[in-house]
Each structure stands twice: as C-alpha cells, then as structure tokens.
Amino acid sequence: MITDVHTHFWIPDHQASPWTDDLTRVARKHAQGAIDEVTRDGYRAQVEPAERTIVFGLQAQASGIMVPNDAVAGFVRDIGGQTVGFLSVDPTRHDAVEEIERAHFDLGLAGIKLGPIYQGTSPLHPLYLRVFSAAERLGLPVMIHQGAIFTAAGRLPDANPLLLDDVATAFPELKIIIAHMGHPWIYETVTVMRRHRHIFADTSAIPNRPTVLANALCAAKEYGVLAKVLFGSDSPMVGTANAIDTLQRVATHTQKFGLTSITDEELHDLLHRPSFDLLGITAPALEPL
C-alpha cells in the first residue's frame, strides 16, 4: 500500500500577496495540473496510485496564505476513502491552542501542519513551543516545513532543521515529520533523525531536485535512518505518480554510479512504508462496496 503523507489543499480565495506574487517561482515540471487550486477530481488524479494520503492547508499570515481548517475538513469528507486531514495554525494568533483543540475534536483532523519560516517566526519562539506542547499532549503528529521556501517571509536561519533538536529534546513524545527532507539542509535533517526516535522526514518536493533527492536518500541510509523516510509528493506541485517515477530513476542512478546505493528492496519499502502506523494515525474505515 502506497501512502502519500504530503499533499495540499487550497483555493485562490485562501491566497494573497506575497504568496500569490511568488508562486510563479515554484517548479512545475512534475505537476499534473494547476497548482493554485485543488479540486476533488484534480486531487484524485494527482495522488494516483497512492491508496492513503494526508492532506492539509497552511495558515501563515506573514506569507499571505490562510486555509481554514473547516475547509480542509470539508475537503477530506468530499475525497473520502483513506485520506486524513491535518489542521494548521499560525502560532502568532492568540487562540492557536484553542483552534488546535477545536480542529482536532470537532473537525476530526489528525495532525498539524506548521511552517515557521512561512509564518515569519522560529520554531523555538515561546508562541511556537505552546503549539508543540499541545500537539504532544493530544498525541498529534506535526508536519513541519523546516527548510528553504519560495517566498521572502521569515529568516533562513530559523528554517534550519538543527533547531528541531531542541524541540525534540523538550517534547520527546512528539512525532515530527520534516517536510522535503529539510532541503537544502539534508545532512542536518538526517543527523536529528538519528538522534531522536520520533523525528521522521518525507521525500516531498525534492523530485524537482533529483541530485538533492539522491544525496538525501544516500545520507539517510548512511546515517541508518532510511526506514524513517516517508514517501510524500507535494501535490499539486508534484504529482504522486511523477514523484514515484523520479524516486525510481534516482534509485537506479545510485545503483549504477553512487558510492551508496538505494536498492530496489529499499525503494519498495520506502514507497510502501506503513506511515499511518508510524505516526499513530488511524486510517478511516473503507466503506463496503
């Protein structure tokens, strides 16, 4: 079973400047349609052949994107199947913890999507730490964009994955997924993954950078954390099928030319990782035909 842990939902009404100004900088060679609007039918086409997916919006006032959690929950209901939704909060809002509890208990959203640099702050800011504390208390995994971005929001030093060493030390039971392998800081990412048992990473977006992807996978293997790398696409920017195709080509390349090779078996395990189980997520029951 293929699980895609990194897919997005938004529509144009959720987006404003500077997000809309800078979206043209996003690579689209692996997209399978429009990247500024996600529809039910478009999403289903984008994520094939994944059988389970995680979908989320983003709330980042500093970057001009605010996707309501109610809209994400509604989209999950429309998609059906074994898609689960993650909520998002901008930690600078005064009621961030209350919104986490509402979106989880009332809307059924099963995790949290965060992006400190998109939100113009640091993951070590006290306002952020209260969000991590709530996530740990509620048993919600956190998908965190801790790496470079396409907008001008925030400070790059605040996006270094090494900062998550302090977070994981303070909240040892919190499950964290570092999006996009934390690129360009892939070695920092695998270092904190090895140090903390509840830190994972996903392969999303970096099919657009196959050299980075190859180096990230090889580094993960050398550091002994390849089993904690989860498959993600970054739909709609990268379609799931295109992400799988690039992973296969990159693995083949490492077998032919790399000092460290990603074997066919290791690639199969990555694509079929039981990500829901690793993150403590209960999959929705499939309705009988």
Per-residue model confidence (pLDDT) at position 30? 64
What's the predicted TM-score (pTM) here? 0.95
Q: Which residues contact 94 (CB under 8 A, 6 or more apart)?
A: none
Residue 141 tokens read as 């995994």
The torsion angles phi and psi of 118, rounded to 5 degrees, stand at -60, -35
The CA–CA distances, whole Å, from 97 to 20, 94, 139, 176 equal 28, 8, 14, 18
**DSSP letter assigned to residue 147:** S
Per-residue model confidence (pLDDT) at position 18? 80
From the list 45, 31, 135, 44, the residue with the least C-alpha distance to 83 is: 44
The CA–CA distances, whole Å, from 196 to 173, 191, 254, 275 equal 10, 9, 27, 17
The CA–CA distances, whole Å, from 165 to 31, 146, 174, 202 equal 33, 12, 12, 17
Residue 282 tokens read as 């209960």
Q: What end-to-end distance do the CA atoms of the chain give, in Å?
A: 19
CA–CA separation, 254 vs 258, rounded Å?
Answer: 4
Mean pLDDT, 10 residues at a time, the chain of 289 residues: 97 85 63 81 96 97 94 97 97 95 98 95 95 98 92 87 98 98 97 98 94 96 98 96 96 92 98 98 74
Per-residue model confidence (pLDDT) at position 23? 67
Per-residue model confidence (pLDDT) at position 29? 58
From the list 269, 267, 251, 161, the residue with the least C-alpha distance to 215 is: 251
To the nearest 10 degrees (0 to 180), the angle between helices 69-79 and 96-105 is 20
Per-residue model confidence (pLDDT) at position 15? 84
Q: Which residues of 149-162 are buried (b: 16+ CB within 10 A; e: fewer)?
A: bbbebbeeebbbbe
Per-residue model confidence (pLDDT) at position 288? 47
| Residues across the chain | 289
Q: What is the CATH number of domain 3-279?
A: 3.20.20.140
User: For the chain, which residues make up each domain, given as ranges?
Assistant: 3-279
- Long-range contacts, stretch 123-127, CB < 8 angstroms, 24+ apart: 123/158, 123/163, 123/164, 123/167, 124/163, 124/166, 124/167, 125/91, 127/91, 127/92, 127/96
- How far is C-alpha 263 from the chain's CA centre? 24
Per-residue model confidence (pLDDT) at position 289? 40
CA–CA separation, 117 vs 158, rounded Å?
Answer: 6
User: C-alpha angle 6/117/24, rounded to 5°?
Assistant: 70
Burial degree of 37 (CB within 10 A; 0-12, 13-18, 19+): middle
Please count the other Cβ atoms lying within 10 Å of the Cβ belonging to residue 94.
8
Per-residue model confidence (pLDDT) at position 287? 60
Q: Which residues contact 207 (CB under 8 A, 6 or more apart)?
A: 30, 213, 233, 238, 242, 243, 246, 247
